[in-house]
Amino acid sequence: MTVFQHLLLAGWIISSIGPATLHAASGRLTQSLDGTWQIADGKSPGDIPAAFDRTVPVPGLANLAIPPFPDVDRFISRENLANRIRSKLSPADWLTNYWKGKVEQDRDYFWYRTTFRAPARREVALLKINKAQFGTAVWLNGRKLRESPGCFTASYTPLADALRWGRPNTLVVRIGAHPAVLPDTFPTGSDFEKIKWTPGIYDSVSVIYCDNPVIETLQVAPRIASCDILVQTRLRNHQPAPVSATLSHTVRTWKSKRTIAAGTPETVSLQPGETRVLTQTLPVPNARLWSPEDPFLHVVDSTTGGDSVNTRFGMREFRFDAATRRAHLNGQVYYLRGSNITLHRFFEDPLCRDLPWKESWVRKLLGDLPKKLHWNYFRFCIGPVPDRWFDICDEEGLLVQNEFFVWTGGPGWYPGYSRTHDPEEMIRQYKDWMRDHWNHPSVAVWDANNETRDDLFGAVIIPAVRPLDLSNRPWENSYNKPADPNDPVEHHPYLMSSGRHGKLTFRMTHLETMDGKPRPGALPSDTNPPIINEYGWLWLNRDGSPTLLTENVYAQLMGTNATARERLDLYACLLGAKTEFWRAHRHYAGIIHFVYLTCSYPGVYTADHFADVTRLKLDPAFADYMAEAFKPLGVYLNFFQPTLRPGSTREFTVMLVNDEPRPRRGQLVLTLESRPGKTLAQARQPFALAELGAQTLRLSLAIPHAPGDCLLKAVARAEGQSKREATVSRRRLQVAE
């Protein structure tokens, strides 16, 4: 057994702001409280239950309690109620009876309890709860210490005054059993399509021990052009007497631990209760840059003598640019390809269980599978993820659009609409949210909300918090006006949404004459760089059954007698073709599909593509078509007619794109094959793509006289590529009169 395993079993690990290691006995010590806790429920916010007769994992969710609680996640949000009954209620009824949602369980709170042994006395002890919902309150040894309304951010509670040093301590944490226990103007998560709302301490819990002054926060901002980093340290003196300390930083590589730079030590004196912010510049000569293709990581080791933190970062800069309408990574145009994860919807999935806290499962979800699908970008949508997920994104190489959990729509979305959030509380929580994530190189974009129309974000919240980020990441503001001329704007071109209740007005043949540009008025700005971060409207459950949003769509596409396998195959084929289309026309900085991970069970609105989510086995058709559609060398066969006339000659348009910063040359082969795979007609043409370039080719085929089911296939193979590495675009059709 390794030393780390012994420490973990003993309940002790060393941590910091980001991944960490303790380098000095006088520095910071972090005690992990993750593990099995006791749990009870109740109606009172102040009366600790007399008995705790169940256990639950931390981190995890309350629906994992043993024995299980009845109705543990039964709550209907006002947004989901709007989807169900808005047409049946007057604004007065809505505001009186449904504005806070509908509670369908006989409890308001869950109480968590654990014990831990504190070390020898230190000057400071802080309880850190990385994330818990819905709101937290803390008792230590029977003494109430603090309440926090945050559901998506870390809370810190001073423990020293109530702590029994060197002895066992009893910690009790109360969380809300549903969102309605918090003020309705506070953010608790808003989602029109989420059906279950499961509470829990869903991220790690720890106790930090150190001496004054405490390093409250530390932010690292890489600067590529000058080969240095800006390090901003916030120090606080918790004790009732002045303190002096020397702050020093060194920079090393993460894996090899090779020291490459050191800052000039700085002496600082703080009065009782004083907070001081110090900013230093450290050179990082010949730094290896971080990118999804090469996720190389560095660490800043910082100490004051009494406290120490180890902050991992990547030398990378990311921005959007209005002049090019593109994303730029480390000074170069960088095309974004990827998908969405809606973890808090997956929380309601019957198969979720403890999967989001299993290292091997999460690493495969964020590492192995995205690489096979050629993805470099994710949006964490409709609810935050545990901190460990960001660590893994840093290590595996994924760029993340990090979205705050707000989807309230806007005027007309439900009766009695009014602004739903307290601006001051929103600003406070957005600040904490940024603090938790600003050192992750994977975090590329702050996303203020999802599909919400409200000028509160662009006029108030974003300007109030944006200056805190020394890396000046871009902000995405959904359907609202962007807050900066270079910020991205999102587009959700759900071309088949007309079929939800009525006649499906869009057909794939329409793509043949479309230019891929957003329709007038579709974007909140015509000059900011646009991204597509949702598209499809073809969702199927994992068993191949349509979701609530697509029942009528598939009935019109395939009739009512199609098998589940036939629907899944069509889904993959159409989604792959749409992906090729949006990429080929080059009007967007990124093409981000919806959705990679969510819930799937009868009655859901959307679903993901896993045949077996517990083993992360994708549906084979999806894996096949989407791995081709997202290859850096992209191929789009612009043909969707159901038939080809036998004996005719037909010209076909094929569009190629090159997402790589190097030129690509090769051969494009267009083939018509019979169902058994026999070549019926073929044409070849060389292609030459500039770096990050595009090209349109036209090839003609003589269609054979023999009728039958066929496959039309365009294959682009660049010089140096094997047959397996070539990119394929396919269309199934018939040769028929």
Give the per-residue pLDDT at 419: 58
CA 143, chain centre distance (Å): 37
Distances in whole angstroms, Cα of residue 681 to Cα of each of 160, 649, 703, 731: 79, 10, 7, 15
For residues 704 and 650, is the Cβ–Cβ distance under 8 A? no
Q: Is the pLDDT of residue 13 over 90?
A: no
Q: Is the pLDDT of residue 95 over 80?
A: no
Q: What whole-number distance in Å separates Cα of residue 78 and Cα of residue 408? A: 9
Give the per-residue pLDDT at 416: 63
Would you state the structure tokens that stand for residue 167, as one six-digit string? Answer: 């002895």
Give the per-residue pLDDT at 90: 75
Contacts of 707 (CB under 8 A, 6+ apart): 646, 734, 735, 736, 737
Give the per-residue pLDDT at 10: 34
DSSP 246: E
Q: What whole-number distance in Å separates Cα of residue 583 and Cα of residue 688? A: 18
Q: Is the pLDDT of residue 414 over 70?
A: yes
Q: Is the pLDDT of residue 730 over 80?
A: yes
For residues 369 and 618, is the Cβ–Cβ distance under 8 A? yes
CA dihedral 77→80→84→87, nearest 10 degrees, is 90
Contacts of 713 (CB under 8 A, 6+ apart): 637, 670, 671, 672, 673, 728, 729, 730, 731
Give the per-residue pLDDT at 417: 64
Tokens 């106790």 label which residue?
A: 207
Would you state the structure tokens that stand for residue 95, as one six-digit string? Answer: 């505001």
- Average pLDDT (579-587) is 98
Give the total residue count for the chain: 737
pLDDT tens figures, 234-275: 999 999 999 999 999 999 999 999 999 999 999 999 999 999
Q: What whole-number distance in Å separates Cα of residue 533 and Cα of residue 589? A: 10
- Strands 443-447, 475-476: pairing is parallel
Q: What whole-number distance in Å separates Cα of residue 197 and Cα of residue 62? A: 11
Q: Is the pLDDT of residue 436 over 50?
A: yes
Q: What whole-number distance in Å separates Cα of residue 517 and Cα of residue 532? A: 11
Count of C-beta atoms within a 10 Å radius of residue 1: 7
Q: What whole-number distance in Å separates Cα of residue 288 and Cα of residue 367? A: 21
- Average pLDDT (95-100) is 80
Give the per-residue pLDDT at 228: 97
Count of C-beta atoms within a 10 Å radius of residue 48: 15
CA 544, chain centre distance (Å): 25
The whole-model pTM stands at 0.95
Question: H/E element holding 701?
Answer: strand 694-702
Contacts of 50 (CB under 8 A, 6+ apart): none
Give the per-residue pLDDT at 77: 92
pLDDT tens figures, 315-367: 999 999 999 999 999 999 999 999 999 999 999 999 999 999 999 999 999 99
Would you state the structure tokens that stand for residue 610, as one six-digit string? Answer: 């896993």
* Three-state helix/strand/coil letters over 470-510: CCCCCEECCCCCCCCCCCCEEECCCCCHHHCCCCCCCCHHH
Q: Sign of the CA dihedral 400, 8, 128, 348?
A: positive
Give the per-residue pLDDT at 8: 36
Contacts of 157 (CB under 8 A, 6+ apart): 126, 127, 129, 138, 145, 146, 148
Give the per-residue pLDDT at 3: 30
Q: Is the peptide bond before 313 cis (omega within 30 degrees of 0)?
A: no
Task: Spell out where 306-367 has E strands.
Answer: 308-313, 318-321, 326-329, 332-333, 336-341
- Ordered by where they begin, the domains of the chain are 33-210 (2.60.120.260), 214-313 (2.60.40.10), 318-630 (3.20.20.80), 635-735 (2.60.40.10)
For residues 229 and 260, is the Cβ–Cβ distance under 8 A? no
pLDDT classification of 50: cutoffs 50, 70, 90: very high
Q: How many helices (H) and strands (E) does the chain have?
A: 13, 43
The residues pairing with 327 across neighbouring beta strands, listed in sequence order, are 320
Q: Sign of the CA dihedral 364, 367, 372, 377?
A: positive
Give the per-residue pLDDT at 533: 97
* Pick from 730, 718, 669, 731: nearest CA to 697: 669
Q: Is the pLDDT of residue 117 over 50?
A: yes
- Average pLDDT (36-60) is 97
Q: What whole-number distance in Å separates Cα of residue 118 and Cα of residue 165? A: 5
Tokens 């009868």 label which residue?
A: 602
Q: Sign of the CA dihedral 103, 104, 106, 108?
A: negative
* Pick from 212, 230, 206: nearest CA to 220: 230
Give the per-residue pLDDT at 6: 34
Give the per-residue pLDDT at 91: 73
For the chain, the first-to-last Cα distance in angstroms comes to 72
pLDDT tens figures, 73-91: 999 998 898 888 766 777 7
Classify residue 42 by burial, with Cβ atoms within 10 Å: 0-12, 13-18, 19+: middle
- Average model confidence (pLDDT) for the chain? 94
The residues pairing with 699 across neighbouring beta strands, listed in sequence order, are 652
Q: Is the pLDDT of residue 121 over 60?
A: yes
Give the per-residue pLDDT at 421: 83
Find the DSSP H helices in 22-139.
Answer: 78-85, 91-97
Q: What whole-number distance in Å separates Cα of residue 587 and Cα of residue 579? A: 13
pLDDT tens figures, 464-508: 999 999 999 999 999 999 999 999 999 999 999 999 999 999 999
Q: What whole-number distance in Å separates Cα of residue 108 and Cα of residue 47? A: 12
Give the per-residue pLDDT at 53: 96
Q: What whole-number distance in Å separates Cα of residue 171 and Cα of residue 166? A: 15
